[in-house]
Chains A and B, each alone.
Chain A
Amino acid sequence: MTNKNQYTVSKEPFYQAQGDEVALYEAAYAARLPVMVKGPTGCGKSRFIEYMAWKLNKPLITVACNEDMTASDLVGRYLLDANGTRWLDGPLTTAARIGAICYLDEIVEARQDTTVVIHPLTDHRRTLPLDKKGELIEAHPDFQLVISYNPGYQSLMKDLKQSTKQRFTGFEFDYPDAALESEILAKETGLDIEVCGKLVQIGQAARNLKGHGLDEGISTRLLVYAAILIKNGVDAKAACRMALVRPITDDADIRDTLDHAIDASFA
């Protein structure tokens, strides 16, 4: 049996609620409804799930999805060993067995035929057939499936099938408003709230440019990076250029504008 403890979230992750999403998630979990979280990159989707796992005191198994992932990467496969072959559960199977929350991060990155294997787990059946092994797993009563994706920047080709979408309840995340976001930065990094406010202001400047040369604005995650650098004694302007501007754009005009926003914010 897999060691269940390795999946538990032992320390409380810092999560600042933006609205009533905590209560809503608890309600969804109580009914064991599958959950989908959407939102731009770095706005706190994964952190939220981690926090909820801690709050509900359930193990959390996270799978980062990618294009080369196959169904057996989720479900499990036979491996070779000295005596022949051995079955190894995949993360989804493990979660169903031990009653964990299974979190499939960036689900649209996986190919569509792969994602179909989650279907029987996400409706009233709550079962997972392992065809190669000839076993039908009944999901543990605590098991829940959570997926996340960012509807913004992936191409049209990478969307979820309707049949997949319609098995989930949804949460839409966005970057928090300025006051809340500065508070988050301050609590996460211990940086002075006033400096955090300026970082958020730069972040919002970049978010205004979304669609005008930027695919995505500066995420809360990048703002946290900048705050950490500043907290560690890096010059504020240099930290912002390094953490906020250089990663997100190669466009000289946009870079100039954001650099100017930094100069304007940090006098």
Chain B
Amino acid sequence: MTEIVTQRTEELSMYWEKLGCRFARVDAVFDECMKEAQALLSKAGLEAYIENARIIGKMGRGAEPLLIYLEEAPGVASIIGEHALIRLREFSEYLSTHTNFKAIVPFLQYSGAVARRLNNDKMYWRYIELIRDMLDRTSGSIHGHHTTFASPGLPELLKQAPKLLGVLSLRGLQNWIEYGIKYYNHHPERQEEYFRLESADAVAVMQRERHGTLLVNNERKLDTYIRALWNDSDYLIPYPVAFDEQRKAMPYYTDDGIRLPDVYDDFNGVSGIDRYRAALAHMAAHRRWSQKMIVDNWSPFQRASVEIFEDSRVEYLACQKYPGLRKLFLALHPIPKEEDLQLEAQGISVFRLRLAMLSRAILDPAYTCQNEHVSEFVKRFHELMAGGESTSAAMASVALAFIARTRGQRDLSANMYFDNTEVDYRDDNRHLWIYIEESDEEEMFEHLDQRKNPEVELQALPPRHYDEWDYNTKSYRPDWVSVYEALHPRGNPAVIDNLLAKHAALAKRLKKMLDLLKPQDKVRIRYQEEGSELDLDVAIRSLIDFKGGSSPDPRINMSHRNDGRNIAVSVVLDLSESLNEKAAGSTQTILELSQEAVSLLAWAIEKLGDPFSISGFHSNTRHDVRFMHIKGFSEKWDDEVKGRLAAMEASYSTRMGAAMRHASHYLEQQQADKKLMLILTDGEPADIDSRDGRILIEDARKAVTELDQKGIYAYCINLDPKADEYVKDIFGKQYTIIDKVADLPAKLPQLFISLTK
């Protein structure tokens, strides 16, 4: 151990004595910490600081907790009050006695960052309560009375807390933690992964709970915005902002679309959606008025200057077209502090500040600026713009002149002044530049790299993810189920034709019923002796006949009949393993009977001319729900489709909710007054990864409610004689149980006909 001989003032020595600590590492930093503490704390605070530090030092968990306490505690106390000194120690002690002592270091280490985010003592106590609750529930015990296993997720949670609180409210954080405890309490590795914010759910739940305006929720609004006001359109692609704290990404656009942050919080009285609009307006203005420039010979300073002038030009033009935009831009554009120009004397580069002042002065006529160069160039800018739209090249020459005029000695200093110079709704202007020579910047190589590894051709469509309802928590598990869709493989269509031939007698009976249902337009039935209203034309004609001496027509009433048939039908077949069983009292399997029934149904619907689709599904855990198209809405009932129906096979389990959601995705897009989804199943929703049988039933029930909200009428045809126990829970009154499965081919089309009569 190296002895550091420190010369302390009398006061400091007294505190050092009180601390009663022998760690050399503490000794080394003690003076520095005290200097800071003395600046931040009151006299009483200092006493408490030392006293609590002493207790932490005596906890027997090494020097680390004490070191961090000494460093962080004064900062926390200055933000949320000096009682924090005691609370931090108390909670550290709590952790120390509860097998979770490993969490003390991260807890103390990030206490300052958390305090800065919450900025309020009440909130901070609630945060500590949240942590305490989480650790109590995730620490394991063997016999129930002593916690013997430390909470695996706690240290990770504490490390992520500042970042999480940056995007979530405390309430949101609570929900996020709840979710993690709920689903990963018995799986330590997964729990750790969740609280480290590495698992997909962790990110998905965070997105759900976060505050602010999300791009995905407003895509249509923004799309209509850029289309309506700018007569422009492109893909809007979100990029994440939450995890890039070091490098703030800026909006930009390239050939493949417009990139915007995935979320905007309200800022300075401007709502999130308006911030998106401002960013879009700025980019749309570039797309309309900017020209590309060759920039190989320009220095970064020159480019930055050209950017500012060009940004100002397009905004100026945009504000001329839509004066209301100026209010938005003004609220979002930072107001640079002119007095900070003097900082140049201290060796700080104020080059960005000058440009920001210029930009603000051009945008804001009320911005007063003493700097003569800036004022002069604002004037030159306005003179140029007075002549019309001007050009990017004209802006560039003024911009270069500005740089030449104002170049300062310290501009190249590494110590750059950044405060209030970032205009965050502006894009990064990558579209302005043309480089003739290939540069050796990093991105160029990335590009080459990609060329070497052409992406592997996708074999199938990428999965679609659907939420699943969890009745325990009354919330959706976001993106829980992956649905893979594909065309059903083809078989021999003759099989289906044979089946239809076998049921020819039944088909004949059905045909009679169908003829009664044949679509007829909305008609006015005239010449009725009894009807809903008097048909004046006919009545007068009768009266005229009567007066004229001939015998009048008594059929002078008319009535209306609303006979339009506008129904889209989606038939969803459960193709789970159980269909392979023989049906009771029949030599055929349920699958074969279903095949017959669906063939007849399809034939009947085709006769009626309603648009319909057929699809089948089965699932093998939530990661693999397969949804197979047998007939699409636009396909005809032809050999291709019959072939697919003939090749139907049954396997795996029944995850009904996801399949219904996916089928509704297509049915929803049909233009029809009435939308009907027929679900043919032989058992309750179940899957091998769902131990709680109730979950999938409740999820299916939720899916039915969702369908209802979309205007889709879900109807279940259940072949399970014991279905009464659950089918009513899922479908309410919209179901039929077919006890005698052998009757299915006859029942199904009849059922459909009576449903749509």
A250–B583 Cα distance when bound, in Å, is 52
Question: Smallest distance from the beta carbon of B270 to chain A beta carbons, Å?
Answer: 12
B225 touches which of A77, A260, A265 (Cβ 8 Å): A260
In the complex, A233 has a CB within 8 A of chain B: no
Known: A85-B548, A257-B221, A264-B324. A206 touches B540 (CB 8 A): no
Asked if A265 and B537 sit within 8 Å, CB to CB, the answer is no
Known: A265-B322, A265-B324. A77 touches B229 (CB 8 A): no
Question: Smallest distance from the beta carbon of A32 to chain B beta carbons, Å?
Answer: 32
Known: A264-B324, A265-B322. A85 touches B227 (CB 8 A): no
Contacting residues, chain B, for A253 (C-beta < 8 A): 220-221, 224
Asked if B547 and A85 sit within 8 Å, CB to CB, the answer is yes
Quick one: CB contact mask for B31-69 with A, threshold 8 Å, 1 for yes? 000000000000000000000000000000000000000
A267–B323 Cα distance when bound, in Å, is 5
Between-chain CB contacts (< 8 Å), 10 pairs? A78-B540, A212-B223, A212-B224, A212-B227, A254-B224, A257-B229, A261-B228, A261-B322, A265-B324, A267-B324
List CB contacts (< 8 Å) of A69-92 with chain B: 70, 72, 77-80, 84-85
Quick one: CB contact mask for A246-267 with B, threshold 8 Å, 1 for yes? 0000000110111011011111
Contacting residues, chain B, for A264 (C-beta < 8 A): 229, 281, 322-325
Contacting residues, chain A, for B326 (C-beta < 8 A): 267
Asked if A77 and B540 sit within 8 Å, CB to CB, the answer is yes
A84–B322 Cα distance when bound, in Å, is 69
List CB contacts (< 8 Å) of A195-214 with chain B: 201, 204-206, 208-209, 212-213
| Chain A count of residues within 8 A CB distance of the other chain | 28
In the complex, B277 has a CB within 8 A of chain A: yes
Question: Smallest distance from the beta carbon of B374 to chain A beta carbons, Å?
Answer: 25
Question: Smallest distance from the beta carbon of A132 to chain B beta carbons, Å?
Answer: 9
Contacting residues, chain B, for A254 (C-beta < 8 A): 224
A206–B223 Cα distance when bound, in Å, is 13
A40–B223 Cα distance when bound, in Å, is 24
B228 touches which of A80, A206, A267 (Cβ 8 Å): A206
Q: Which 4 A-B pairs have the closest CB atoms?
A: A267-B323, A264-B322, A264-B324, A205-B228
In the complex, B321 has a CB within 8 A of chain A: yes
Contacting residues, chain A, for B547 (C-beta < 8 A): 80, 84-85
Known: A79-B540, A85-B544. A258 touches B228 (CB 8 A): yes
Contacting residues, chain A, for B277 (C-beta < 8 A): 260
B-side interface residues toward A, CB under 8 Å? 220-221, 223-225, 227-229, 231, 273-274, 277, 281, 321-327, 537, 540-541, 543-544, 547-548
Asked if B324 and A266 sit within 8 Å, CB to CB, the answer is yes
A253–B540 Cα distance when bound, in Å, is 51
Contacting residues, chain B, for A266 (C-beta < 8 A): 323-324
Known: A77-B540, A84-B547, A253-B220. A209 touches B228 (CB 8 A): yes
Question: Smallest distance from the beta carbon of A65 to chain B beta carbons, Å?
Answer: 17
Contacting residues, chain B, for A267 (C-beta < 8 A): 322-327
Question: Residue among B220, B229, B273 with the most chain A CB within 10 A?
Answer: B229
Contacting residues, chain B, for A257 (C-beta < 8 A): 221, 224-225, 228-229
List CB contacts (< 8 Å) of A179-226 with chain B: 201, 204-206, 208-209, 212-213
A258–B323 Cα distance when bound, in Å, is 15
Asked if A209 and B544 sit within 8 Å, CB to CB, the answer is no
A208 touches which of B227, B322, B537 (Cβ 8 Å): B227
A85–B274 Cα distance when bound, in Å, is 69
- Further pairs besides A77-B537, A257-B221, A267-B327: 4, Cβ < 8 Å: A260-B274, A260-B277, A261-B322, A264-B229
Question: Smallest distance from the beta carbon of A228 to chain B beta carbons, Å?
Answer: 23
A229–B323 Cα distance when bound, in Å, is 21
A69–B298 Cα distance when bound, in Å, is 74
Question: Residue among A78, A212, A213, A260 with the most chain B CB within 10 A?
Answer: A260
Contacting residues, chain A, for B541 (C-beta < 8 A): 78
A81–B234 Cα distance when bound, in Å, is 68
A263–B229 Cα distance when bound, in Å, is 12
A209–B230 Cα distance when bound, in Å, is 11
Quick one: CB contact mask for A157-180 with B, threshold 8 Å, 1 for yes? 000000000000000000000000
Question: Smallest distance from the beta carbon of A251 to chain B beta carbons, Å?
Answer: 9
> Closest chain A residue to B319 by CB distance?
A267
Contacting residues, chain B, for A261 (C-beta < 8 A): 228-229, 322
A213–B219 Cα distance when bound, in Å, is 14
Question: Smallest distance from the beta carbon of A19 to chain B beta carbons, Å?
Answer: 23
A209–B227 Cα distance when bound, in Å, is 7
A257–B227 Cα distance when bound, in Å, is 10
Asked if B227 and A80 sit within 8 Å, CB to CB, the answer is no
A28–B281 Cα distance when bound, in Å, is 47
Question: Smallest distance from the beta carbon of B80 to chain A beta carbons, Å?
Answer: 40
Known: A70-B537, A208-B231, A264-B229. A213 touches B224 (CB 8 A): yes
